[in-house]
Amino acid sequence: MTRFAATPRRLRRVSSLRATFTVSFAAVAAAVTVLVGFLSYDAAARLVRVDQQTVFAEVVQDLRDQVREHPLQPQDFASPDTDHDGPLDDIIRPSRTDIQVLGPGGAMVDRGSPPLPVNDHDRAIADDGTAGELEEHKDVDVDGDRYRIATVALGGGRGAVQIAQQFSDTEDLLRELQQRTVLLVGAVVVAAGLFGWWLARRITRRLVRLAGAAEDVARTGRLGIQVPVTGYDEVARLGRSFDRMLGRLAQSEEDQRRLVQDAGHELRTPLTSLRTNISMLRRIDELPPDAREELVADLALESRELTDLVNELVALAAGQSDTEPVRQLDLAELAEDVAIVARRRTGREITVHVTGDTAVDGRPTALQRAVSNLVENAAKFDRGSKSPIEVVVAGPAPRTGAGQSGDPGGGTDMSARPGPVRVEVLDRGPGIGDDDLVRVFDRFYRAADARSLPGSGLGLSIVREVATAHGGTPFAFHREGGGTVIGFTVGR
């Protein structure tokens, strides 16, 4: 039920993201298109109207100049000349205007096509004695069309000439342009919405797969799910990061599982021995004194082994998620402290040799545990030898160059070259077989010669974990003249 209930919610979230992306894309496209369309239409309409008004005003002004310069009669405008050089042709040829001629008192001399309306103001202009007097009507309805009309007096009461310019056709053209602009805006919005939906689907398709992988992990708990990753953009980076995170979690889970399995296997032997010895305690009064002492000693040994094993398991588990802060420390000083404690515990002679710069950035407790495990391991296997256990801490050598301040003549620059610091523990014990050298750092691995000795097989595994966490590597090889050299490096 949970699985099928979660899917619609995921689809709703994805659909909402796609819808938001689509609407946003369409809204931006609509806003831009509407703005551009409005500005374009407004500029075109203003240009056309201003142009028509300018032409009409120029024609009217030319007519006024004509009648002022020459005493023209109404008959001069009644019909065009055959030579097309009369005053009427000068008016209608450049402007495509309509002409209607009025006589004295506003009498119709030459009716326009269509006939233009004549009112009292026009009749008064026709009787006006001053040539060029003007009466203008900006918006007149003539047979359903809109006209701009100007009446110009001929002077001396001889009549007047009416000039009409139709602008309803222009307005129809502008309305058609407006309708086409609206249709274009609508088409652009629809196209932008479709493109936005396609783009959102293309982008969210990888997010859907990524969300599906995350939900599969949450539902099944399986961390080995393959995350589909394509491309190199932010979504691809998110997918790769998620895939690496799952890989880290899967590796951590595998390490924990293996640690639990190995720990269970190793704990079974001391627990079985303890259980057997405890069952013998019920008959301890029946045992001879030597057997009693042996039983008690065996119990003490097994309890110590079990305690050491548990402590090392805890240390190993803590090392995998160590939260100890990193700080600068001197590995040579740390090795000296470990040697002091080891001398007191084992009674062995332990020497520390230091070369180069041994300062590193690391976790003191973890590094001290690693060095201590190496020294204790050497003391355990090098029991019969009289030679001291040697601890060598070697850092990069100082570089030689110009002297420091106060030493103008030259000298040694004590700053070290970059490089790892090496910690080695040398013993004269029986050594490690060639087949065992490659496995001594595995968890719970114990060579055949060492299985009779106390220990859990985790000490060197802890060394490997600490070295890896500090950017270094563990190593082990035969020592010339007998014995073993075992240690690790720490990155700088």
- Per-residue DSSP letters for 169-215? HHHHHHHHHHHHHHHHHHHHHHHHHHHHHHHHHHHHHHHHHHHHHHH
Residues 83-111: what's their mean pLDDT? 70
Structure tokens at 266: 């190793």
Task: Kindly report, residue by residue over 277-312, the tens digit of the pLDDT.
Answer: 778 777 777 778 888 787 787 777 777 767 766 776
Residues 46-52: what's their mean pLDDT? 77
Residues 103-113: what's their mean pLDDT? 85
Residues 309-335: what's their mean pLDDT? 74
Of 378, 472, 392, 467, the C-alpha closest to 424 is: 392
Residues 204-218: what's their mean pLDDT? 77
Kindly tell me if the per-residue pLDDT of 266 is higher than 70: no
Under the banding of pLDDT at 50, 70 and 90, the label for residue 424 is very high
Q: What is the pLDDT of residue 329?
A: 93
Residues 204-229: what's their mean pLDDT? 76
Q: Element (H or E) spanning 250, and its range? A: helix 234-281
Of 24, 15, 52, the C-alpha closest to 165 is: 52
Structure tokens at 345: 């515990």
Average pLDDT, the chain: 76
Under the banding of pLDDT at 50, 70 and 90, the label for residue 13 is very low
Of 30, 55, 457, the C-alpha closest to 262 is: 457
394 or 177, which is more confident:
394
3-state secondary structure of 38: helix
CA 424: distance to chain centroid? 45
Q: Hey, which of 145-154, 179-188, 330-339 has the most confident mean pLDDT?
A: 330-339
Residue 450 CA to residue 440 CA, distance in Å, equals 11
Q: What is the pLDDT of residue 1?
A: 38
Structure tokens at 340: 């002091």
Q: What is the pLDDT of residue 482?
A: 85
Q: Lowest-pLDDT range, 88-102, 138-152, 247-261, 454-468?
A: 88-102
Kindly tell me if the per-residue pLDDT of 164 is higher than 90: no
Q: What is the pLDDT of residue 419?
A: 80
Of 478, 366, 472, the C-alpha closest to 426 is: 478
Kindly tell me if the per-residue pLDDT of 87 is higher than 70: no
Residue type at position 62 = D
- Residues 162 and 99 sit within 8 Å (Cβ to Cβ): yes
The stretches of 321-386 forming alpha helices (DSSP H) are 331-346, 364-381
Structure tokens at 373: 């495990």
Strands 389-394, 350-355: pairing kind: parallel
3-state secondary structure of 328: strand
Q: What is the pLDDT of residue 4?
A: 38
Residue 184 CA to residue 190 CA, distance in Å, equals 10
Q: What is the pLDDT of residue 156?
A: 85
